[in-house]
Amino acid sequence: MTDQRFVVTAHYHGESASDFRDRLLSLYHPFGKWAVKQADKVIAVSEWERDRLREDFGVDATVIPNGVDVERFASAEPEVRDRPYLLTVGRLEEYKGVQHVIRAMPELEAYDLLVAGSGPYREELERVAIEEGVEDRVEFLGYVDDERLPRLYAGADVYVTLSEFEAYGMTVAEALAAGTPCVVRDSGALTDWIDRHSCIDVSNEDQKTVTDAVRTGVDIVPDRSALVTWGDVTDRVETKYNNV
């Protein structure tokens, strides 16, 4: 114990896509509950995370979402390519759901799919692309540097993320800041984006559902004014610290 007061921002998922990690989480749970209960204030980055913290640890958190550098993405020159494209960004893990986007590509013949990110699931994703006969329209970019990333978002017709577990959904914020409509999975903290930012949601990942969502999403015009900047976040967090 200490007399020093402190504030916790948890970034808590509550579960994972790995049985092994879930077992570790069950062992961690008593310590995690003790730790957050010692905090004078707890901050959650989404309403979904706040609900998980309340259910799992019995704490009432204040929601202060992550920020985004709106101007950086809003001012980006769109990437120029010969064909229109869809974009997904993130570490290549099974739970991220990129395989479901690839399986929808046979019905989305007008588009290529650009996959930005690296990870252990890439080989399987490449196999799925070959299996679906779309390997010539799915391009794995690997790691993308900070200079190119905003251009990729700005040039995409639709950004798609079908991840099972997210505490916030930073890539959705970045895509919307770039003016690109989004299709998101109705799961985890991605649910928080659906009503507030007019993203199209999918409740399952079958080919028709994803295809229909992408075709609907093309017509969405994102509202950047609803996004939280890092300046907003700093002010709100500072206020919490000062109140403590």
Reported as type and span, the H/E element at residue 20 is helix 19-38
How confident is the model over 194-210, as a mean pLDDT? Answer: 86
Residue 2 belongs to some domain of the structure: no
Residue 209 pLDDT? 95
Specify whether 238 is located in the same domain as 166.
no
Nearest Cα neighbor of 122 from 99, 145, 104 is 99
Specify whether 58 is located in the same domain as 98.
no
pTM: 0.88
Whole-angstrom Cα distance, residue 169 to residue 45?
Answer: 10
Residue 25 pLDDT? 61
Q: In 10 A of CB 91, how many CB atoms?
A: 13
Residue 235 belongs to some domain of the structure: yes
Looking at per-residue confidence, does 1 or 130 come out higher? 130
The residue whose two tokens read 């994703």 is 125
How confident is the model over 55-74, as a mean pLDDT? Answer: 91
What range does the domain containing 175 cover? 70-226
By percentage, how much of the chain surpasses pLDDT 90?
60
Specify whether 214 is located in the same domain as 237.
no
Residue 236 belongs to some domain of the structure: yes
How confident is the model over 121-135, as a mean pLDDT? Answer: 98
Q: Mean pLDDT across the chain, nearest whole number?
A: 89
Query: Is the predicted pLDDT of residue 14 greater than 80, yes or no?
Result: no
Contact 101, 107 (CB under 8 A): no
Residue 1 belongs to some domain of the structure: no
Residue 160 belongs to some domain of the structure: yes
Tell me: the pLDDT tens digits for 153-194?
999 999 999 999 888 999 999 999 999 999 999 988 888 898
Question: Structurally, how many domains does the chain consist of?
Answer: 2
